[in-house]
Amino acid sequence: MSTTPASTSLRRSTSLRRSLGLWAIVGLGLGYMTPMTVFDTFGIVTGETNGVVPSAYLVALVAMVFTAISYGRMTRVFPSAGSAYTYASETIHPNVGFLVGWSSLLDYLLLPLVNALIVRLYLESFFPAVPGWIWVVGYVAVITAMNLFSMSSTSRVNGILVVFQIVLIAVFVVLTWTALNAGAGNGTPFSLTPLLHSGVHLGAVIGGATVVCFSFIGFDAITMYTEEAKDTRTVPRAIVLALLIGGAIFFVAAWFAQSRFPTLAGFHFTDDTLPEIALKTGGLLFQILFISAAVAAAVASSLASHASVSRMIYVMARNGNGRVSRTLSYIHPRFRTPATAVVLVGAVSLLAAAFTLEFVSSMINFGALIAFTVVNATVIIHFALRRKERRGARQIVRNIVLPGVGMLLTGVLWANLHLDALTYGIVWLGIGIITLLVVTRAFRKPLGVKLDEDGDAAIITREGAPSDAVR
């Protein structure tokens, strides 16, 4: 593909800015994962699992580790910001990629909305006389502006908020350790009761894992920053680091919470136990600080999720034709951010003024688990089938066994989703199929895929030669 120096310079001036290092990307992943949610969902998961919340996190983490390995491998092959959408498009078919991207879009679009809704609920509890929509508009405007003006400043603010959460969780662990040694809860931090006890069934633990896997959604979103990473080779490392660090925080926090509160006896509100856990752990002052950390968690998640979904919209639009695609793939020449996509996500987030948390959260995991399952499948298709790397035990394990186990585990979680999540998700997928039919004119017009920010299709990868799926 030949280009003139002027055209190359123009494209580079309007491409995404490469400003993110390894730990900035890890921080965005952790901000997306929102460590404080372990306390928000503690009551729900305790009831679901009969008091083994750490086991639910452990099952979800194991499933996610296999999937994280697959994401890491595929992002080396296709270093594009499109994530599962790109991998499925290149290894299976662009139409399949579109539907995977469309399914993921549901979750990515809803998470900024959920965070705005949570902040609205917190502020309404403190200021009941102020209409909720005012908080939503103001909050969404700030988050949208930060994502629009600078990705690097978004990363810095996100990092500060993530550290604040981790510090408060560490204080909770210290206070709980002291209480347990004084005879509270299980009477010791070393009891195995939070992991397993009589009356616990595997089906219930898996059911709890389908709830807490919502907390792990974020490590995959790291792939959205591939085109803004200073070095694309750091992205696979960032994926695994964010997952392992986040998983460790979830597990430790859940372990101490379950040790201190083996049952829900004494809790008045089990749908969101964070405020009562904080009050029972450290009194009123600690409760205020803990709730402040929860608000910080929502803000960090908003920044990270808003940034990642706008990148997905940008990449999907970049691969299309026509006025809509050109508009949604617009890069601001000064800020070097996908401006139209950022504003669109902000507009969708305004719906937090009208929706309920129960309604929105029921749909979150549907598309993410579909994407996780498909990404594991793309590893098998690309390496074992297309490149025929299935000779010897090492290649069989890497290219078939590991992604196969990942597919099985994420598939089990998907099959155990709540009925409402499956229902709403299938409706959304149906809309995507109709959209695909319109875009492709009933499959008569093929979709194209542009893998990099310059629109070039051929990419030399670290794992081999150019993609043999390039069109």
Mean pLDDT by 10 residues, the chain (471 residues): 43 62 85 86 90 94 91 84 79 90 82 85 80 92 85 74 92 96 91 88 87 77 75 84 93 96 88 87 92 86 82 76 74 81 91 77 77 93 94 94 94 82 87 89 73 42 39 36
Opening angle at CA 440, ends 437 and 441, nearest 5: 75
What's the CA angle centered on 174, arms 300 and 298, to 5 degrees?
15
Rounded CA-CA distance 210/239 in Å is: 21
Spell out a b/e string for 418-450, using b for 16 or more CB atoms within 10 Å of the CB, else e.
Answer: beebbebbeebbeebeeebeebeeeeeeebebb
| Residues 224/83, Cβ–Cβ less than 8 Å | yes
Return the pLDDT at 469: 38
Tell me the pTM. 0.78
Give the separation between CA 105 and CA 310, rounded to whole angstroms: 10
Cα–Cα distance, 208 to 56 (Å, whole number): 5
Count of C-beta atoms within a 10 Å radius of residue 106? 23
Residue 277 is inside which H or E element, if any?
A: helix 274-318
Question: CA separation (Å) from 129 to 126, 139, 350, 352, 354?
Answer: 9, 17, 20, 18, 17
| Distance (Å, whole) CA 238 – CA 27 | 9
CA distance 436 to 256: 48
The reported pLDDT for the residue numbered 101 is: 84
**Residue in the structure block whose two tokens are 């101490």:** 256
d(CA 206, CA 84): 24
